[in-house]
A = this chain, B = another copy of it.
């Protein structure tokens, strides 16, 4: 799936920045691919981007309108359809991460067909994958893994990709979730593939590459997540990571929305991830810990980070505050002489 950039971001009738976090992520992570924002009159969110109509955006070179807002439930409400049609008429393709498929909206499907426009549903997967081979392939792979969902795995992978490149190491961000796919313009919604092919899809996502090239793969879920652990395990197996980064929020005590499922210790989590990763890569190891410390005061933040550094002898970062340079530097050092 290759998404046509640059984008016009559709905020629809978004009522909060939280609802528009997909659009905000695109603004922050691929600013050169974003030409502007387009909203309905009732929208109460402003991302500080140029306000463009679809026609003006198309004239400026935009190729897709991206739905950048996600109301609860993930359905596309009928009131958005006129704006989507306006974008198609202006010559833009549509990109959506919603549960509702764009092609399931009759007016949208008809207009796209009439105008020769493409509809991209990044949450869904119509691609057919094969079962994983388990065979080692050339190139290096890093995978962000987590103590839970929504704990910074995408952000850590993006920062690590940037930090590796800044140090002269060839690196590619590999997206496995909808926002990541929109940022990268490509990827596989790994939780949407048929169960038998999770690891196979992960193999396809990070194919053989030059020996010193790093694929930095966006992790999903958690091995011990009661609903999504299977996705996580298949992604670990297929990614064959050389290096893993454990992502955590020190204030998270249990799986989000699963109050009866306390998190394991970080040591237990690492042991479980290593056991899983060693199935397809016996050399897999952790190279760092990535924290979301936004909920901690400065003193506690320092105490937590220093404590974990001492406990695990690994660089501990908050990618939002520190970037991932310390992890990239450690990887540069550790893998320089490994082919």
Identify A230's interface contact among B192, B199, B258, B261, CB under 8 A: B199
Question: Does A275 lie within 8 Å of B272, measured CB to CB?
Answer: yes
Q: Mark A229-240, 1 if CB is under 8 A from B, else 0.
A: 111111101000
Is A31 on the interface with B (CB-CB < 8 A)? no
A180 close to B (CB within 8 Å) = no
Contacts A194-B191, A195-B190, A260-B134; A229 near B233 (Cβ below 8 A):
yes
- Which residues on B sit within 8 Å (CB–CB) of A229? 199, 233-234, 237, 276, 279
| A interface bracket (residues with beta carbon within 8 Å of B) | 35 or more
Contacts of A232 in B (CB 8 A): 230, 233
Find out whether the CB atom of B193 lies under 8 angstroms from the CB atom of A227: no
Contacting B at CB under 8 A, from A152-201, are 190-196, 198-200
Is A10 part of the binding interface, using a Cβ–Cβ cutoff of 8 Å?
A: no
By beta carbon, the residue of chain B nearest A190 is B195
User: Would you call A226 and B196 a contact (CB within 8 A)?
Assistant: no
* A305 at interface by CB-CB < 8 Å: no
Q: A131-B227, A132-B226, A261-B279 are in contact. Are A194 and B196 (CB under 8 A)?
A: no
Contact of A279 among B131, B193, B226 (CB under 8 A): B226
Contact flags A219-252 to B (C-beta < 8 A → 1, else 0) = 0000110111111111101000000000000000
- 11 A-B interface contacts by CB (under 8 A): A132-B227, A133-B226, A134-B258, A134-B261, A191-B195, A192-B195, A193-B195, A195-B231, A198-B230, A229-B276, A233-B233
